[in-house]
Copies of this chain bind each other. A is one copy, B any other.
Amino acid sequence: MSLTIKEIAARAGVSKSTVSRVISGKGYTSPEARDKVQQIIEELQYKPNAVARAMVSQRTNNIGVLIYRRDHPVVSHPFYGKIVDAILATAAGMNYSVFVTTDHDMSLRSADFMMEKRVDGLILISRLQQNVIDYIKNFHVPYLMVNGSTDDDGIIQIVNRDEEGGRKAAQHLYGLGHRRYFVLAGPQAHRSHFLRLKGFRCQLASRGIPIADESVVYPSASTFEEGFNMMRRHYEHFRAGGYTAVFATNDTIALGAMKVLAERSVLVPEQVAVMGFDDIEFATMLTPSLTTIRVNTEEMGRQAVTMLDRLIRQDVPQAKLIEVEPKLIVRQSTATNN
């Protein structure tokens, strides 16, 4: 069917072993044989069959990215999509191809698939159910988790310093003179939302401003709709509370809240300052643009692939936890004068 090493060998008048040596550059080959073979390969556009290679080397040079999300399509997700992009870019540079799979029904189907395809390693994104993790553990594939959430230590994780980010957000608002804070905190079962809230609270507490429980509401999902709904539901309470700043544990929730404020003609930032977290692309597009804590998704993706590659190559003892530093991005939604 498709061109093989044997065919190349025949045309060059050498054995397949010689062709193999030329391609891999290992072992002895005479310059003449080398040139001849290379010329024919070029001429016929021969591409080595990675399947056959994988067969003998027991390495596919493929990695799998597994994302489970119930509430959102995944690749186009404004935050997770960025991580996937970074993974793709890094992986390509390291000669890995990437299988991307999403599962909405929390089944083991995708994981199964990846095992059958004999990926060299697996990157798990977001909160995987423990049963999926346990399942994956059963096989011998290296894997790690990005922006995950699990009690299972022993799993290598790449995370953002969320608590630190929460503190930065608090410090920024505090520095602008705000003293009454209203918080929309996404699902607390998820590590990042939990820590962002925690950091935010701690920082303010250390300034002598504890945040009362009544000042925090909990959207049940980290989505625009939930941010919108929760802000609407608590709007009267919010209005009455004399709050001058709103912090949401991610940008989409913040956007939902801002939509409600716009609806009620509350001026941002003049009457209320708003901050999000993540720095999704939309944050710059709306008016006022959103002040936020940028998660270094680029770095997270790069680290994920780099670490996974090490695991695959059985390199070095690994750090169990890799943390990347978030960064305050000041935009219009917390501007003071203009």
Contacts and interface: CB of A to CB of B under 8 A. Distances in A.
Interface string A50-83: 1110110010101000000000011111100110
B45 A138 contact: yes
Contact of A78 (B55, B76, B263, B284): B76
A281 interface: yes
Given A52-B55, A99-B98, A112-B47, A224 B284 contact: yes
A319 interface: no
A51 B81 contact: no
Interface stretch (A6-14, A84-92, A163-171): A84-92
Nearest to A282: B282
B76 A85 contact: yes
A5 interface: no
Protomer copies: 2
B97 A97 contact: no
Interface stretch (A114-122, A185-193, A321-329): A114-122
Which interface residue of A100, A101, A112, A138 has the most chain B CB atoms within 10 A?
Answer: A100
Contacts of A92: 101-103, 109-110, 113
Contacts of A286: 255, 259, 282, 285-287
A1 interface: yes
A2 interface: yes
Nearest to A258: B287
Contacts of A116: 47-50
Nearest to A45: B138
A262 interface: yes
A140 interface: yes
A37 to B, nearest CB: 18
A255 to B, nearest CB: 5
21 contacts: A1-B58, A50-B118, A51-B54, A51-B118, A52-B55, A74-B88, A75-B88, A76-B78, A76-B84, A78-B281, A85-B102, A89-B104, A97-B114, A98-B101, A99-B100, A224-B284, A259-B286, A259-B287, A263-B287, A285-B286, A286-B286
Q: Which 3 A-B pairs have the closest CB atoms?
A: A76-B81, A262-B287, A73-B85
